[in-house]
Chains A and B, each alone.
Chain A
């Protein structure tokens, strides 16, 4: 499913819209997990606008692909994706985190159409994703399950319980994507709790393990295609990303795990996202279709 130039342009524009909508949602909420939301928004964009077989008008369609946002605190990026597709009203985003709203920091599958699993407590999503994948196989159905994990989340032992079992059961219909933004709440991942060599850990657990640039649609597409064509077992894509990607004064800064923007900072952030989009589109003009590897931009 290699990307055509028009796909890339469409995805770039969509990701830009979603970054802006995520920023808006953080502002409406008063504060939010902006860093980890912007690090995974390109991954969410390519999944929801290229790879997932879904029908937003039928959120419970039995044969739909399933998606689990294991790093549930990126709900502030996920809710805009769902609202943009029409699962929920965009107006609802203005109530994000408000008292009594169906949209909280971590999305609830019983309240938000399109959410296949409630998450929030880290280290849960891969197990639920495996259960879904095993369920699809038991039913003889071809739908796939995708799980996005945070890199800091990989500190949780339960991630490795699930990794061991997914490989044992050769769950080839399961794809995990690690949002490797190299930051966690208390600091850089390698300072708080070393993860490296992360890809070797996944390989040792029996997974097909790939790397990708998490802000490059061609790179992500190549990895996702390889995951789909790998039929021996589960595949993990370690997607190299930048926390707070697109907003220059927060990008790469672990302290922007969670934050808020006053009016001035909101305007600065919007301006930065616009500049970031322009750079990506300019790079697209330069590179896409030349070497087949697409974009090279990272951060703002």
Chain B
């Protein structure tokens, strides 16, 4: 994608949200119709970088998320392209009626960037953890849902969101993400998964911070077990890459999904919906936060607790590889 000015060194020094803020400033320079809004979280979400550059095009509505999304819809109806940022949990719940009716129903060009997603605000606890947003947001018609794996991919996603007509939700983490992507343009495209590790024994489909963990797990599986795991960065959960999922089922017969999100209705749910319609039998495991409210702790510790880190993925892969579903006598294949 043309116009990206970051180097690998920059991305290593910047948090994911900072990269978002810088990318938004670039978009602001290129497109006078880009405006930005927040609800007293300009600094935390790094949308404040845009405020410094273009104060007249920035609106801080105070701690009022319903009004945040309603005003954004009005600005979009007046011909602007609003980028709106607050914490993911407030995007997907506190202001959801406005996101649904004002933005998605009217199919408006509003780009919602929810930060502090998943368990990334670990010590803040469940009130600030956001483990339901993928499920909620992907049920909104017209809304694309993107979960970038690192800062560089966030930058691509933000630019792609601008280029796409209609509403987009991008979910990013608080703080730094492990760096997956270098300076080479890998052809980010909304709705197209990226294969980060080739394999035919099983496939790990991941999004967000779990992608790096999946790649690390795949390296160890190859080295320690001689197993070749395919890793897909499913950065777009909606519209999901059906072809990549069906190829994974057909070619590897074992699929693990992993996400920093509840196992109910998120990436795992989206993959299961496609898989169930594929007509193929396969072994499947969803990794995520179980159907419970999360505990408090550091992001890394919480990912380990819920088995969505490298070790968790490794254990799940070994479990799945140990199951030979094709010899299951209770399976009535003739039916």
Contacts and interface: CB of A to CB of B under 8 A. Distances in A.
A162 B67 contact: yes
B304 interface: no
Contacts of B76: 131
A116, A133, A158: most-surrounded residue (chain B CB, <10 A): A158
Contacts of B57: 138
B66 A131 contact: no
B79 A62 contact: yes
Interface in B70-90: 70-80
Given A109-B106, A110-B107, A138-B57, A164 B74 contact: no
A97 interface: no
Interface stretch (B94-102, B154-162, B169-177, B284-292): B94-102
B62 interface: yes
A128 B97 CA distance: 13
B73 A128 contact: yes
B73 A161 contact: no
B20 interface: no
B71 A117 contact: no
Given A131-B75, A138-B35, A117 B66 contact: no
A131 B77 contact: yes
A127 interface: yes
Contacts of A136: 78
Contacts of B77: 66, 109, 116-117, 128, 131-132, 135
Contacts of B71: 127-128, 130-131, 134, 162, 165
B79 A139 contact: yes
Nearest to B57: A138
A121 interface: yes
B61 interface: yes
A293 B69 CA distance: 41
Interface residues of A, number: 34
Do most interface residues of chain A lie in helix, strand or loop, or is the interface mixed?
helix
B30 interface: no
A124 B102 contact: yes
Interface in B42-70: 56-57, 59, 61-62, 64, 66-67, 69-70
Contacts of B106: 109-110, 117-118
B105 interface: yes
A135 B98 contact: no
B70 A124 contact: yes
A131 B72 contact: yes
A197 interface: no
B67 A138 contact: no
Contacts of B78: 66, 131-132, 134-136, 138-139
B97 A121 contact: yes
Contacts of A36: none
A135 B70 CA distance: 13
Contacts of B61: 161, 165
B59 A134 contact: yes
Contacts of A133: 74
A157 interface: yes
Contact of B70 (A109, A120, A130, A139): A130
Contacts of A119: 101
A116 B75 CA distance: 12
A129 interface: yes
A161 B64 contact: yes
Interface in A85-125: 108-110, 116-121, 123-124
A66 B75 CA distance: 12
B102 A135 contact: no
A124 B98 CA distance: 7
Interface string B100-113: 01100111000000
B97 to A, nearest CB: 5
Given A110-B107, A118-B106, A165-B67, A127 B73 contact: yes
A108 B107 CA distance: 11
Nearest to B63: A161
Contacts of B70: 124, 126-128, 130-131, 158, 162
Contacts of A139: 78-79
A134 B97 CA distance: 22
5 smallest A-B Cβ distances: which pairs?
A131-B74, A127-B70, A135-B78, A161-B67, A161-B64
Given A108-B105, A117-B77, 20 more contacts: A62-B79, A110-B105, A117-B73, A117-B102, A124-B98, A127-B70, A127-B71, A127-B74, A128-B70, A128-B102, A129-B74, A131-B70, A131-B74, A138-B56, A138-B78, A139-B79, A158-B66, A162-B71, A164-B67, A165-B67
8 contacts: A116-B77, A120-B101, A124-B97, A124-B102, A127-B73, A133-B74, A134-B71, A135-B78
